[in-house]
Amino acid sequence: MKYVDEFRDGTLARRLAAAIAREVDPAREYRFMEFCGGHTHAIARYGVEDLLPANVRLIHGPGCPVCVLPTGRLEMAIALAERPGVMLASYGDMLRVPGSGGDSLLKARARGADVRMVYSIDDALALARRHPDRQVIFFAIGFETTTPPTAVAIRQAAAEGLGNFSVFCNHVLTPSAIASILESPEVRDLGSVKLDGFVGPAHVSTVIGSRPYEYFAAEYAKPVVIAGFEPLDVLQAVRMLVRQVNAGQSCVENEFARAVSRDGNRKAQKLVAEVFELRKHFDWRGLGRVPYSALRIKSAWADFDAERRFAPEPRTVPDHKACECAAILRGVKRPQDCRLFGSACTPETPMGSCMVSSEGACAAHWSYGRFRSARPA
Amino acid sequence: MSPPRDFPRKLDLRHGCIEMQHGGGGRAMAQLVEELFVAAFANPALSALNDQAVLDAGLSGRLVIATDSHVVSPLFFPGGDIGSLAVHGTVNDVAMAAAEPRWLAASFILEEGFALAELARIVDSMAQAARAAGVAIVTGDTKVVEAGKGDGVFITTTGVGVARAGFETGGTRARPGDVVLVSGAIGDHGIAIMACREGLDFDVPIESDSAALHGLVGALCAVLPPPALRVLRDPTRGGLGATLNEIARASGVGMQLAETAIPVHEPVRAACEFLGLDPLYVANEGKLIAIVDPDHAEAALAALRAHPLGREAARIGVCTDDGQRFVELETGFGGRRVIDWIAGEQLPRIC
């Protein structure tokens, strides 16, 4: 497949891996966090870790949108879905995420709620057009990549006068999450999570550009290399991070230059600014309450804001006591450190969100990598 | 004087549609059965119009029975339709016991309002698929449900066949060292259905691989001593990944596969890429997995490749001695990973 196979080439991978092995300082450890779930998935799917020297470790970050949505927001979505006359449109992964007591959107659907799986917000708009007698609510989640399409859909609904369409907005921001990790006690004070740099997001950065990461490189002295989602991108980014660490540098480098510019997609940014504004704070699974870390719909578009139209009761729900999703999302623990992993918690019966999405650290390790922990080398 | 005609007006196969009376047990049902099903499937057992088929079996050896319900949406797709699928699905389930399928029973659940013209197309396609496969549809049943309570048509078929003497295939029989073969490129059926549903257009349309596989099984059996053929399976729902996990679990072995050896057609790879699917978990309706004794692997592969349905057959890996029963894949990238069971359903209503 043209333009894809080139980035998965095994011969190039072995050459790159050999170069990394030559360049690492055997006397030290390198610990890089891949922020994005897309990277987590690619690393597991292609077995990238098998090509890295033992002293280079990749730590999974909080960049899986399904994983970081707190249980409270999920339960608000379930409550919205169960209102008479409502049809809730959601991405497939969200349907299986467990709420408290094991409830989920799938279970709500089995009880009679009208929950539809969609591939994009366009499908939700189409549902609203096809079912004028129903209130169609799109359960919007995701980082900066999925936010512009939501903005476009809201403008489209306004232009068409689609009065039965609204959005339950849960869009979150990448830079705030990175700042929250760097400010966390484990990284700052306790030193229990040592981070030597970040593999920066691919798709998110096509929208926001590389400029927002410059602050982290300068302020926290952590190198950032923005990388594409193909396995060779990840390997190349690791090599660039190793070089920065070896040289004592910390700057933002762009491995994904084929799609990311310093300023990003200004048109998309403008669209987002037109429809959304910052929330003062937002609850994240794992990171807790993070200031200015999420978006809500501006009052000018209030007609399309499900939170305004239906006023669902805000909820805060603690995670399952034994579930380590929170610590895993901060890079403090690994999936196999959770005692529910692979016993009570599997993709068929997930206890925490990280076991649901294929971008989640637990699901990725379970589905692709668990032979490593089951059979130590 | 000739007896009066039972059905003064012929069934309107152009403009008519299924009505509740077509399942009511009266004249309308009898007419549907005779003018549509019996006419298309044409064989003495069915034409006798009894509630069962009485067959002059003349059998010796082991009987193989399999049943399969078909609920695919859409009903017509590139490379087949629910009718041909209902024949192939069950013929293949019988064939995987190293058996020669002989007869089918077919049960139809029809939705009120379903166009008779579409039903006739489906029935013709079934008849054609059955003739091509050399099996007779010898008995059946028809029920009608109210509009909105079905999805056009659901078809259940039950197949009966005879196992080849000496061959005892089964999911528990794989041993460490055995070679895993697949008869061709994977994922065509699932992606053909998905592309149809999502309105995806490709330069070269992806067709379902729906086909009857007993001929291919026959070719394999012709070159192998019976004990060398350990496992035969057609990887339908859940794809290659799920089927290999079932075998690994039942046989208590692990597997080591090479990603680069697994054949996948280019358009299927591309479609999977942007639909976010893994071809390993996409359904097939015309492929088989054969696990064979390593000493006979080359002969088996050659026999598969010599058959029109097995031209792209490949050796994709080996069974290993692994208490954890992991199905492992060496990725084309050079890393390794597990091929796990699929969680939930990747694509509903696929067959």
What are the tens digits of pLDDT across the range A248-264?
A: 999 999 999 999 999 99
What average pLDDT does range A55-74 have in this prediction? 94
- At CA A358, angle to CA A355 and CA A359, rounded to 5? 95
Query: Are A222 and A250 in contact, with CB atoms under 8 Å apart?
Result: yes
Q: How far apart are CA B52 and CA B64, in angstroms?
A: 18
Report the residue count for chain B: 351
Provide the mean pLDDT of chain A: 93
Domains of chain A, residue spans? 5-53+183-254, 67-173+264-310
A50–B343 CB contact, under 8 Å: no
Is B124 part of the contact surface with chain A (CB cutoff 8 Å)? no
DSSP letter, residue B289: E
Q: Domains in chain B, start-ordered, CATH in brackets?
A: 20-163 (3.30.1330.10), 179-338 (3.90.650.10)
pLDDT at B200 exceeding the cut of 80: no
Highest mean pLDDT among A313-322, A348-357, B112-121: B112-121
What is the predicted pLDDT for the residue at A377? 41
What is the predicted pLDDT for the residue at B93? 98
Confidence of residue A376 (pLDDT cuts 50, 70, 90): very low
Q: Give me A331's structure tokens.
A: 């890079």
Residues of A in contact with B270 (CB under 8 A): 1
pLDDT at B33 exceeding the cut of 90: yes
Q: Give me A216's structure tokens.
A: 């982290």
Long-range contacts of B70-76 (CB under 8 A, 24+ apart): B70/B154, B70/B155, B70/B156, B70/B157, B70/B351, B71/B151, B71/B154, B71/B349, B71/B351, B72/B193, B72/B349, B72/B350, B72/B351, B73/B151, B73/B197, B73/B349, B74/B193, B74/B196, B74/B197, B75/B118, B75/B122, B75/B152, B75/B153, B76/B121
A46–B340 CB contact, under 8 Å: no
What is the predicted pLDDT for the residue at B158? 98
Q: N- to C-terminal Cα distance for chain B?
A: 50
Question: Is domain A67-173+264-310 annotated with CATH 3.40.50.11740?
Answer: yes
What average pLDDT does range A98-125 have in this prediction? 93
Query: Are A61 and A36 in contact, with CB atoms under 8 Å apart?
Result: yes
What is the predicted pLDDT for the residue at B347? 67
Q: In what order do the strands lie in the sheet with B229-233?
A: B229-233, B289-292, B179-182, B314-320, B254-258, B327-330, B336-338
**What DSSP string describes A219-279?**
HS---EEE--SSHHHHHHHHHHHHHHHHTT---EEES-TTT--SS--HHHHHHHHHHEEE-
What average pLDDT does range B33-55 have in this prediction? 93
Confidence of residue B119 (pLDDT cuts 50, 70, 90): very high
Q: How far apart are CA A152 and CA A144, in angstroms?
A: 13
Count Cα neighbours of B30 within 13 Å in the Cβ-side half-sphere: 10
Highest mean pLDDT among A179-183, A321-325, B17-21, B292-296: B292-296
**Pairing of β A197-200 and β A30-36:** parallel
CA-derived radius of gyration, chain B: 22
Confidence of residue B345 (pLDDT cuts 50, 70, 90): low
pLDDT in tens, A201-227: 999 999 999 999 999 999 999 999 999
A13–B343 CB contact, under 8 Å: no
pLDDT at B349 exceeding the cut of 90: no
**What DSSP string describes A105-153?**
HHHHHHHT-EEEE-SSHHHHHHHHHH-TTSEEEEEEEESTTTHHHHHHH
The ipTM assigned to this model is 0.81
Report the residue count for chain A: 377
Type and span of the H or E element at B116: helix B116-133
pLDDT at A307 exceeding the cut of 60: yes
B335–A47 CB contact, under 8 Å: yes
What is the predicted pLDDT for the residue at B225? 97
**Spatial CB neighbours of A175, under 8 Å, sequence gap ≥ 6:** A208, A212, A213, A215, A216
pLDDT in tens, B76-114: 999 999 999 999 999 999 999 999 999 999 999 999 999
B340–A369 CB contact, under 8 Å: no
A367–B273 CB contact, under 8 Å: no
Query: Are A70 and A42 in contact, with CB atoms under 8 Å apart?
Result: no
What is the predicted pLDDT for the residue at B59? 73
Count Cα neighbours of A318 within 13 Å in the Cβ-side half-sphere: 4
What average pLDDT does range A254-280 have in this prediction? 97
- Secondary structure (3-state) at B183: coil
What is the predicted pLDDT for the residue at B179? 98
Confidence of residue B56 (pLDDT cuts 50, 70, 90): confident
Identity of the amino acid at A192: S
A47–B333 CB contact, under 8 Å: yes
What is the predicted pLDDT for the residue at B283? 95
Identity of the amino acid at A272: V
pLDDT at B201 exceeding the cut of 90: no
Confidence of residue B346 (pLDDT cuts 50, 70, 90): low
Residues of B in contact with A48 (CB under 8 A): 333, 335
Is B199 part of the contact surface with chain A (CB cutoff 8 Å)? no
Q: How far apart are CA A199 and CA B79, in angstroms?
A: 44
Q: How far apart are CA B19 and CA B30, in angstroms?
A: 13
pLDDT at A375 exceeding the cut of 90: no
**Pairing of β B179-182 and β B314-320:** antiparallel
Type and span of the H or E element at B215: helix B214-223
Instruction: Give the burial class of B148: count Cβ atoms within 10 A of its Cβ; 0-12 exposed, 13-18 middle, 19 or more buried.
Output: exposed
Chain A interface residues (partner B, CB cutoff 8 A): 1, 4, 8-10, 13-14, 17, 44-51, 96, 119, 231-232, 346-348, 363, 366-371, 374-375
What average pLDDT does range B255-265 have in this prediction? 97
pLDDT in tens, A144-180: 999 999 999 999 999 999 999 999 999 999 999 999 9
Confidence of residue A49 (pLDDT cuts 50, 70, 90): very high
pLDDT at B241 exceeding the cut of 60: yes
Provide the mean pLDDT of chain B: 94
Query: Are B48 and B155 in contact, with CB atoms under 8 Å apart?
Result: no
Type and span of the H or E element at A281: strand A281-284
Q: Which of A9, A347, A369 is closest, CB to CB, to B338?
A: A369
What average pLDDT does range B189-200 have in this prediction? 88
What average pLDDT does range A82-110 have in this prediction? 93
Q: How far apart are CA A189 and CA A175, in angstroms?
A: 21
pLDDT at A38 exceeding the cut of 80: yes
Confidence of residue B233 (pLDDT cuts 50, 70, 90): very high
What is the predicted pLDDT for the residue at B342? 78
pLDDT in tens, A227-246: 999 999 999 999 999 999 99
Q: Is A209 left (phi over 0), alpha (psi -120 to 50) or beta?
A: left
Is it true that A5-53+183-254 and A67-173+264-310 share their CATH fold?
A: yes
Cα of A97 to nearest chain B Cα, Å: 12
Q: Which of B326, B332, B335 is closest, CB to CB, to A49?
A: B335
Q: What percent of chain B has pLDDT over 70?
A: 98
Among B151, B142, B184, which residue's Cα sits nearest to residue B279? Answer: B184
Q: How far apart are CA A132 and CA A165, in angstroms?
A: 9
pLDDT at A318 exceeding the cut of 80: yes
Arch. (CATH architecture) of A5-53+183-254: 3-Layer(aba) Sandwich (3.40)
Among A358, A295, A289, which residue's Cα sits nearest to residue A326? Answer: A289
**Spatial CB neighbours of B168, under 8 Å, sequence gap ≥ 6:** B98, B226
What is the predicted pLDDT for the residue at B19? 94
